[in-house]
Amino acid sequence: MSWRAGTSSYFYSFCTMPVTPFSSNRPKHVHAKSSNAQDFIDHLIKEDIISAQEAKDAINESNRLGRPIEAILIDRQSLTEEEMLSEKGAFLDIPWRAISSEYKIAEAVISQIPEEAAKIYKIVPLSRDGNNVEVGMINPEDVHAQEALQFIAARGNFIPKKILISSKSYENIIRQYRSLGGEVTEALSELEQEIKIEGGALPATRAARTVEAILEEEAPIVKMVSVIMRHASEGGASDIHIEPLADRLRVRFRMDGILHTSILLPINVHPAIVSRIKILSNLKIDETRLPQDGRFHAVIDGREFDFRVATFPTANGEKVTIRVLDPTTGVRALPELGLTGRTLEIMEHGIKKPYGMILISGPTGSGKSTTLYALLKILNKEMINIVSLEDPIEYTIDGVNQSQVHEEIGYTFASGLRHILRGDPNVIMVGEIRDSDTAKLAVHAALTGHIVLTTIHTNSATGIIPRLVDMGVEPFLIPSSVAVGMAQRLLQRLCNNCKRTFVPEPKVVAMLERELKSLPEKERERIPKDGYKLWVAPGCDKCAGQGKKGRIGIYEAFDMTSEMEKIIVTETTEGNILKEANRQGMVSMLQDGLLKALEGQVSLE
């Protein structure tokens, strides 16, 4: 079968090679008759840890039962498991470690050694630090396990560091191989059996068939889709991309803003997987020529998730993009998102005003909605009526009247905003200003005494005003309606566990001094007093060897002043607005990012 999961594809060719390590005649355990095992027993006798008689009895029982002699000695209480591991580690010059049942290994780390190899040779990955991978081994002296590890490390381009572990520790880790690859493998095997029963063809999917028939006939496909959704939600992925390539189907997860290939499937399962997702999303399964949008809800391991689905026809077939939304995720405070200093002051001052618009700009996926929710959390009080229009509702906030727009039935941001204004609101959140009608209505709402929180697509904070004018808002209305304009982007955080400082090159220091020289005096306090130092994170087990964990925002913001009002009414250009914003002491996104790099929150790159 031409498929692979995670990084284990290379192992398939190794598994099918007629080489000695895979001989069915080799022993599964290293018994006393092995010269290495006998040498270790001799060592234990020499060190007076066990007696010669104890060794003889254990050897006889090991040969009779086919169990490792170390396990026999522990069962007979000749020595404890800890003493056994300590002595064996010292004898083999390999460190030993006990692995608890709570020890979790990142998927990127555990995929370094395929499940087949882990089960056959009793070797499991423990952690990764840069190019070095710690590998737990029950029998480090097993020559077959050593050969297999060397092969896997060479193909996986990592340096293995052997760690001696107990059988119990090994079991704690092998249970974690119930992974995306393993579960999809199982579903593919079931599908293969169905294909054989059907006479060599994948069960057809037709619009005329009932939903029940499809669910019953294509159970492995249902399982496969379910496993993909579960692993995406459990892993904290924000998006799932299911993409047909020329000869295979690629599934990618977006983690912390970066797409990672999670699994490759046979191309012949593509129509069935897309049909299953369409059924869940209530889309037309026989329409493959036009893009479609839908959504569905699912409970995964007791947690509720919403999935927003978009299909898109490509040369190789329909691509499916799924946004993973967790409505129960806690809303964070502004400082937790990365707002500090002057920018934080502007935002906190803006939401204290009795009315006015707070506009947040940035590209798709830059965290604008998360910032809006943080503002709602501050404003959410019993004496205030808050109403929101969203597409979709990403987080649920108790006390806020949240409404989902449905453009397919005519319930748009503009039409919803007209109805909201009749409902006695104090605070209005509009998910996005997409058109002229929504822009004009939002300005009208701000002018009539409401606080309006919304987002708009521009490249910078100073581009917000020209964008509103371009959407048909009269310039003389903007100063009275707009309170704050802010732009933001998301950067990957450095892993706190493995990050470390280094002194940058002189040309980098010169660049930092040039870019930061215009900072307001108060913001310059964030620059370290002991000189410019940057940070790097090589990767560790807590960040799956990536060096990054989570994301943080960088921001720039301005507020409305009398000088800004004159510029907007007389000469609305982004350059003039930028001059006034700089006069206010605005910290640009670049400067905010450089300060966060000096603070060790992000890398300079």
Last residue of a domain, one of 301, 325, 349: 325
- Does residue 272 lie in a domain region? yes
Please check the confidence at residue 338 and state whether its pLDDT lies above 80: yes
Q: What is the pLDDT of residue 148?
A: 87
pLDDT, tens only, 30-61: 333 344 677 888 888 888 888 888 888 888 88
Indicate if 109 and 16 belong to the same structural domain. Answer: yes
Q: Does 479 share its domain with 342?
A: yes
Question: Is residue 178 predicted with pLDDT exceeding 90?
Answer: no
Rounding to the nearest 10 degrees, give the CA dihedral for residues 582, 585, 589, 592.
Answer: 150
Domain match, 313 and 378 both: no
- Looking at residue 172, its pLDDT comes to 79
Residue 381 buriedness (CB in 10 A; 0-12 / 13-18 / 19+): exposed
Same domain, 217 and 169: no
pLDDT band at 491 (very low <50, low <70, confident <90, very high): very high
Give the sign of the dihedral formed by CA 173, CA 176, CA 181, CA 183: positive
* Residue 192's pLDDT band (cuts 50, 70, 90): low
Q: Identify the domain boundary among 299, 325, 351.
A: 325
Q: What is the pLDDT of residue 28?
A: 37
Dihedral angle over CA of 392, 398, 399, 403, nearest 10 = 20
pLDDT tens sequence across 62-91: 787 777 787 788 877 777 878 888 888 888
Confidence of residue 119 (pLDDT cuts 50, 70, 90): confident
Query: Are 434 and 461 contained in the same domain?
Result: yes
Is pLDDT of 521 > 50?
Answer: yes
Q: Of the spans 213-217, 386-390, 530-534, which averages the highest pLDDT?
A: 386-390
pLDDT, tens only, 565-601: 999 988 888 888 899 888 888 999 999 999 999 988 9
Based on the structure, what is the number of domains in the chain?
Answer: 3
Based on the fold, state whether residues 31 and 135 are members of the same structural domain: yes
Residues 172 and 184 in one domain: no
Domain extent, residue 64, equals 4-176
Instruction: Report the pLDDT value the prediction gives residue 440, as an integer from 0 to 100.
Output: 92
Q: What local confidence, expressed as pLDDT, does residue 179 receive?
A: 56
- Residue 225's domain is classified under what CATH number? 3.30.450.90
Over residues 230-250, the pLDDT tens digits come to: 888 877 888 999 999 988 899
Distance in angstroms (rounded) separating the CA atoms of residues 239 and 87: 49
Mean pLDDT over each residue of the chain, to the nearest integer: 82
Based on the fold, state whether residues 68 and 80 are members of the same structural domain. yes
In a domain, 171, yes or no: yes
- Same domain assignment for residues 221 and 241: yes
Residue whose token pair is 């691509």: 319
- The residue with greater pLDDT, 490 or 394, is 490
What's the CA gap between 215 and 275, in Å, rounded?
Answer: 11
Q: Please state which of the ranges 156-170, 188-202, 369-383, 454-468 shows the lowest mean pLDDT.
A: 188-202
SS3 content of the chain, % helix, strand, coil (to 5): 45, 20, 35
- The predicted pLDDT at position 27 comes to 36
266 and 415 both lie in a single domain: no
pLDDT-derived band at 187 (thresholds 50, 70, 90) equals low
Beta bridge partners of 237: none
